[in-house]
Amino acid sequence: QLQLQESGPGLVEPSETLSLTCTVSGGSVSSRQYFWAWIRQPPGKLLELIGTVYSTGSIYYNPSLRGRATILRDTSKNQVSLKLESATAADTAVYYCARVEAGIAIDYWGQGTLVTVSS
Amino acid sequence: DIVMTQSPLSSPVTLGQTASISCKSSQSLVNSDGHTYLSWLQQRPGQPPRLLIYKISNRFSGVPDRFSGSGAGTDFTLKISRVEADDVGIYYCTQASQNPYTFGQGTKLEI
């Protein structure tokens, strides 16, 4: 059974880099059928796509992040990671790792992890 | 970006009755491949979102047939028949026809 588990610090200092890892079990991040996405939800606000890594290895970033996000896929560890530079309070959110099935939809979500940006 | 607008934002329903949620997109969700990537998600309290419906009307694996989706172009509807207590939560529409994928504000279903 597919499981996505986000991990990383729950508290990040302003201006520092927010770093999260998604460990995938029961599936492969190398699969041609699936993409892997990072999505966040700030308190009281909309869900927001951060970016998607495709089966080809190419990556789409939401322009709203203004170039601050980096998503990497590590096939040897079956993980997808997220780094968000120059964090501010506006980056406080629940961060989700999710799988996208090509031609279908975002079909599975991790449990999510709350990251607070504060000093 | 495509804006997804849901209504109502809160929906009180009686057990056994039918709930209906509307989702309108700011532009057509018909993709260049001819498909419409409109999905519905359910988020129960304390849980991550769960896929219910994809490509307007297709139920995802394990989803009861009490959940049904319809619509086309820019107007879409989720119907929940014979509402059960377990259906309490927030329902989101989302589009994957154009990057960035976007989400509605969510509709809170209350019994």
> Over the stretch A52-109, which tens digit does the pLDDT of each residue have?
999 888 999 999 998 999 999 999 999 999 999 999 999 999 999 999 998 888 999 9
Tell me, yes or no, if B60 comes closer than 8 A to chain A by beta carbon.
Answer: yes
Residue B102 has pLDDT above 90, yes or no: yes
Task: Kindly state the average pLDDT of the residues B33-52.
Answer: 94
**What percent of chain B has a predicted confidence (pLDDT) above 90?**
95
B48, B96, B100 member nearest A105 (Cβ): B96
Kindly tell me the number of DSSP H helices and DSSP E strands found in chain A: 0, 11
Mean pLDDT to the nearest integer, B4-26: 95
Partner-chain contact A48 B103, CB within 8 Å: yes
Distance of CA A28 to the CA centre of its chain: 16
Cβ of B102 within 8 Å of Cβ of A49? The answer is yes
DSSP per residue, A31-88: -TTEEEEEEEE-TTS--EEEEEE-TTS-EEE-GGGTT-EEEEEETTTTEEEEEE-S--
Residues with Cβ within 8 Å of residue A17, at least 6 apart in sequence: A83, A84, A85, A86, A87
B92 three-state secondary structure: strand
Instruction: Name the pLDDT band for B37 (thresholds 50, 70, 90).
Output: very high
Averaged pLDDT of chain B: 95
- pLDDT at position A4 is 96
Q: What is the DSSP letter of B86?
A: G
Q: Is A106 on the interface with B (CB under 8 A)?
A: yes
Query: How much is the pLDDT for A103?
Result: 82
| Cβ pair B54:A60 closer than 8 A | no
